[in-house]
Every structure is written in structure tokens, then in C-alpha cells.
Amino acid sequence: MKFHILEDKQMRDIGFTDHVKSKWYFIKSIQPNITFNLTIHKKSLKGEIDVLDERYLQPYDYQYYMKACTREELEFPYVTNDKVQEIMANFIEQGIITEYEMGSYI
């Protein structure tokens, strides 16, 4: 997966902030207490994606739960995955993310 930066105004219009001047940061609530976070370092273009459980201040590995349970047994991780994939599709369409195969492990 590769990350790309658009013009400053475009990044801000999408929802990114650069309060830390060396990084672009995006956060979106996708479930109660679950957030999608993307950080892109401006100079290196290295990026980090985190899906966080804000209640416990730690990563939420929804993809692990999807392997362990069916949607009928535990719907929450599947809904989380649907929303993450929607965000990823938008970033791909906007040119911020390339070389990502939809549905791949994040």
C-alpha cells in the first residue's frame, strides 16, 4: 500500500488536519467508540492506518473477529469492516491510497 498527498486545500476538504506540521492526520468515527485513523508523514509519505477502540485506547482487530465468528454470531466486526472498506475506497478514488487490494488485512 502506498500513500500520496494532495494539495493542502484538498487534504483539508477531505477532513485531514496538519496540527502537527510534519503529518497529515484523518480520523473518522465508524462505530460507537471505534475510529478509523490515518496518518501520512509529509516528507517520507509513510502512512499508518489504525482502527481504534477508543474505550480501551487500543487497536480494534475487527478482522481477527471476522475470522473467528460469522456475521450472524457477531455482526459488529463485519459492520466495522464495511465502513473501513468504504473509507478505503474513497481514499483510493481520491488518489490518496494506491496499491491496496480491497478487503486486504489492515
Cα 22 to the chain's mean position, in Å?
19
Model pTM score: 0.93
**Pairwise CA distance, residues 2 & 66, whole Å:** 25
Provide the pLDDT for residue 17. 98
pLDDT digits (tens, 9 = 90+) for 16-60: 999 999 999 999 999 999 999 999 999 999 999 999 999 999 999
Residue type, 60: Y
Split at pLDDT 50, 70, 90, the class of 61 is very high
Contact indicator for 3, 96 with CB cutoff of 8 Å: yes
Split at pLDDT 50, 70, 90, the class of 75 is very high
Query: Cell numbers 508523514 label which residue?
Result: 41
Provide the pLDDT for residue 59. 97
According to DSSP, the residues that pair with 83 across neighbouring strands are none
Domain locations in the chain as residue ranges: 2-96
